[in-house]
Structure 1
Amino acid sequence: MLTQTQIRHYQQNGFQVLEQFFDDSQIQALRRELTQMIDSAPTSSTNRKNRYGQTVEHPSDFSFTLQEPEGEG
C-alpha cells in the first residue's frame, strides 16, 4: 500500500521508487531473462543474426530495441 506522501511524490514527479519491491531471487530471474533476451536479439535492423551468429527467427519481435539506438543513425 502506498502512503499519501508516496502518492503525492508520484503525482508531482511521475515516478515512485519502491525499495525492496522484488526479492533477490526475483531480481536474479529478471536478470537471467534480460540477458537471454539481449543475447537472442539481432545485432542490427538489417541483420537476422544474434551476437553468436545464430539466426533470429522473429527479428521483428525485437524492433523496439532498434529504434535509433545510441551510436547509430
Structure 2
Amino acid sequence: MISDAPHTRPSAEVDDETGTDASSWFTAEVPDIVAGLESSQSIGPLTAAAARELIAVGRARDALALVLGEVDGSWRR
C-alpha cells in the first residue's frame, strides 16, 4: 500500500544508505550502465550515442530514462 504521507526526502536527495547525493550516483553510474547495455546489445548504437550526449550535458537521469525505455520496449515486442 502506498502511503498518503507527504514526501519527506530532503531537496538535495541524499541517499540514506551511503550519505551521497543522488545526482552524484547518476553521474558516476549511468555511463557504465549505458556501456553495459550497449555491449550486451540491449540498446542500439544510436540510443547509446544519444544517452552519452545527454550525460555530457549533465542530464544523466534523462540518459538513464532513455536507455531503460528502449530496454523496456524490447521486452514488450
Task: Give the shorter-chain TM-score range.
Answer: 0.3 to 0.5
Q: Which has the larger radius of gyration?
A: 1
Structure with greater helix percent? 2
> Normalising by structure 1, what TM-score?
0.32
